[in-house]
């Protein structure tokens, strides 16, 4: 019966398609929306009919697409999710058709998949317009795209974009279809290509100057004295700004050792720990939100803000996870704009990092003030008489309070029931944009001096945060499979007890363990398979083994574990160590 119905309506699709000059009525739009929700299209034998439905929807005009998006926003979550999955399955089946069925292979590079992706884009638009999203962002991605040549698709899209070519289809035109893993791979390949280009450029320059090339010119070599960490880092980065897009290699002056990744990670951890110290005054930590924010009163550290931006850029560029606690709104600002084609030296007058913040954004930084602002907005009484506010704000500037006007003559304008929305908007804009504009501008240019790439256009703020800070989810159940051992074996009792204790740990304790050993409580985007983890046995002739605590070398992801005689002692000492490690746990 379903097949008969589908055959009957198929002719109407053709009629509608060849008469596109006539706007579709509301009932037609609802009809097509209902059709793509139909479970009958879960059967791949109906794919040829489904393709024509998707083709018609994809060719609607913008106004009609907006009406469909409005309809999709009203769907129950389970129907919305199942329809997204149906479209993703349609793409996957036709992207990789089975050998036994070649009937659809001719359409793979034609209109079937592009029309499905364009229809899926309507669901993504509906999902993004809802505050809090209907389904998580990750569920919009098509996992099967992890197996296509994403690099080729990216460079084709980049080529078309740079030359203003209109038309054609690439998956990168619809970045939501890529998983964070696929985007990370694209960004990595783009970074590697830029590294190769810069290394080749250095080699050619050496030959032109009749100089002997050496391996050092292929790297960004930083020589740092531990006693002058920030000063030397600033000097080296400033002096070698043209080399920022080369592979990073760090040398601590006066110390032997080749940087195989450990010294680079240690440099990141030590430098960030020093810069984020409260005494340094660059960032303010808010206990209620658990995040750092830019100190608007710190006007003497502009070069250091630029350095922090460069550090974050180098971390992305060199695939290093950082333990940085910025709110999501910071990454929104960092992607505004996501990419600027002009050279950084020509952008002194370009406004960057300016967003239209919401109360929800501000709540991630100052939930206490946000709560008060929400109370002001909801207040039923007389705002002017009961609150006595004007369009100005008082901000602590070290030992004094500075008064800033939120608008012209703000000190003479009372906040009333009628203008309180404007007051809240201006106050939030002051904290998130205006008060820190110089600091964030330096930070922005530092980051983009390293990471300037079209690949950033594929990312949303949550994904940029994951690339820099890793994944919040922490499950160490498979950690034993990738662990390497030194001076011990997995068959020894204290090693067996250790893994038993780890398995029993709640998620928060596992995060503390990860922080203790690696310097960050987040996992790489690719999960545990992307990590290195080592356990080494330690002992001492000077004291009883039961008096020793576990230690770690975070720059090498190495846990130093004493061979405790019982499981209970091991658990007690391990918990004591991970709960009392400070900062980044550098040893």
Active-site amino acid positions: 555
Q: What is the CA radius of gyration of the chain?
A: 28
The rounded distance, in Å, linking the Cα atoms of 570 and 157 is: 55
Q: 405: which DSSP letter?
A: E
By three-state DSSP, how is residue 221 classified?
strand
Element (H, E) at 294: strand 291-294
Scan for tokens 């904290």, then name that residue. Answer: 431
Assigned token pair, 146: 């992890």
- Among the listed residues 539, 580, 586, 585, the one whose alpha carbon sits nearest the alpha carbon of residue 560: 539
Write the CB contacts of 493 (distance below 8 Å, at least 6 apart in sequence). 563
Write the CB contacts of 414 (distance below 8 Å, at least 6 apart in sequence). 384, 388, 389, 390
Bridge partner list, 219: 247
The rounded distance, in Å, linking the Cα atoms of 159 and 534 is: 43
**How many other C-beta atoms lie within 10 A of the C-beta of residue 290?**
10
The rounded distance, in Å, linking the Cα atoms of 141 and 406 is: 42
E strands in 127-273: 219-224, 247-252
Contact 120/177 with Cβ under 8 angstroms?
A: yes
Positive or negative: CA dihedral 69, 70, 71, 75: positive
Write the CB contacts of 335 (distance below 8 Å, at least 6 apart in sequence). 456, 459, 460, 461, 464
**How many other C-beta atoms lie within 10 A of the C-beta of residue 26?**
10
Q: 551: which DSSP letter?
A: E
Q: What Å distances lie between residue 93 and 46, 82, 111, 127, 149, CA to CA?
A: 12, 16, 14, 24, 17
Q: 390: which DSSP letter?
A: B
- Tallying the residues shown for the chain, one arrives at 587
């Amino acid at each position: 019966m379903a097949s008969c119905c589908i055959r009957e309506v198929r002719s109407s699709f053709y009629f509608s398609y060849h008469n596109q000059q006539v706007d579709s009525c509301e009932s037609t739009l609802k009809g097509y929306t209902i059709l793509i929700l139909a479970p009958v299209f879960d059967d791949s034998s109906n794919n040829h009919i489904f393709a024509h439905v998707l083709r018609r929807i994809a060719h609607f005009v913008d106004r009609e697409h907006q009406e469909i998006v409005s309809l999709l926003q009203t769907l129950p979550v389970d129907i919305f999710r199942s329809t997204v999955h149906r479209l993703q399955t349609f793409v996957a089946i036709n992207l990789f058709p089975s050998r036994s069925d070649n009937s659809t292979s001719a359409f793979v590079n034609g209109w079937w998949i592009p029309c499905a992706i364009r229809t899926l884009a309507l669901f993504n638009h509906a999902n993004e317009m809802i505050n809090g999203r209907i389904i998580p962002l990750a569920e919009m991605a098509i996992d099967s795209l992890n197996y296509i040549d994403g690099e080729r698709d990216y460079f084709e899209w980049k080529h078309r974009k740079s030359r203003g070519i209109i038309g054609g289809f690439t998956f990168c035109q619809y970045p939501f279809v890529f998983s964070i893993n696929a985007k990370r791979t694209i960004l990595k390949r783009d970074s590697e290509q830029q590294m190769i280009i810069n290394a080749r450029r250095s080699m050619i320059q050496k030959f032109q100057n009749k100089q002997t090339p050496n391996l050092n010119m292929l790297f960004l070599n930083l020589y740092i004295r531990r006693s002058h960490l920030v000063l030397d880092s600033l000097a080296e980065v400033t002096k070698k700004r043209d080399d920022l897009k080369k592979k990073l290699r760090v040398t601590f002056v006066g110390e032997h050792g080749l940087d195989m990744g450990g010294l680079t990670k240690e440099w990141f951890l030590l430098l960030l720990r020093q810069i984020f110290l409260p005494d340094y005054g660059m960032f303010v930590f808010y206990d209620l939100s658990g995040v750092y924010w830019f100190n608007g009163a710190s006007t003497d550290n502009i070069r250091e803000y630029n350095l922090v931006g460069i550090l974050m850029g180098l971390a992305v560029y060199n695939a290093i996870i950082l333990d940085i606690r910025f709110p999501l709104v910071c990454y929104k600002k960092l992607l505004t704009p996501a990419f600027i084609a002009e050279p950084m030296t020509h952008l002194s007058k370009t406004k960057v990092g300016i967003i239209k913040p919401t109360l929800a954004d501000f709540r991630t930084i100052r939930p206490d003030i946000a709560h008060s602002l929400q109370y002001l907005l909801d207040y039923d009484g007389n705002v002017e008489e009961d609150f006595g506010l004007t369009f100005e704000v008082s901000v602590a500037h070290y030992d004094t309070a500075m008064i800033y006007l939120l608008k012209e003559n703000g000190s003479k304008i009372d906040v009333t029931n009628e203008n309180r929305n404007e007051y809240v908007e201006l106050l939030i804009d002051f904290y998130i944009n205006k008060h820190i504009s110089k600091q964030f501008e330096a930070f922005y240019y530092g980051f983009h001096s390293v990471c300037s790439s079209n690949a950033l256009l594929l990312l949303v703020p949550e994904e940029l945060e994951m690339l820099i800070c890793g994944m919040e989810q922490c499950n160490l159940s498979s950690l034993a499979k990738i662990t390497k051992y030194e001076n011990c074996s997995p068959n020894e009792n204290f090693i067996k007890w250790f893994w038993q204790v780890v398995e029993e740990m709640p998620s928060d304790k596992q995060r503390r363990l990860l922080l203790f050993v690696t310097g960050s409580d987040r996992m790489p985007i690719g999960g545990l398979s992307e990590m290195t983890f080592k356990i080494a046995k330690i002992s001492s002739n000077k004291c009883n083994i039961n008096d020793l605590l576990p230690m770690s070398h975070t720059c090498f992801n190495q846990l130093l574990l004493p061979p405790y005689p019982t499981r209970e002692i091991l658990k007690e000492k391990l918990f004591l160590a991970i709960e009392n490690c400070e900062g980044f746990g550098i040893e």
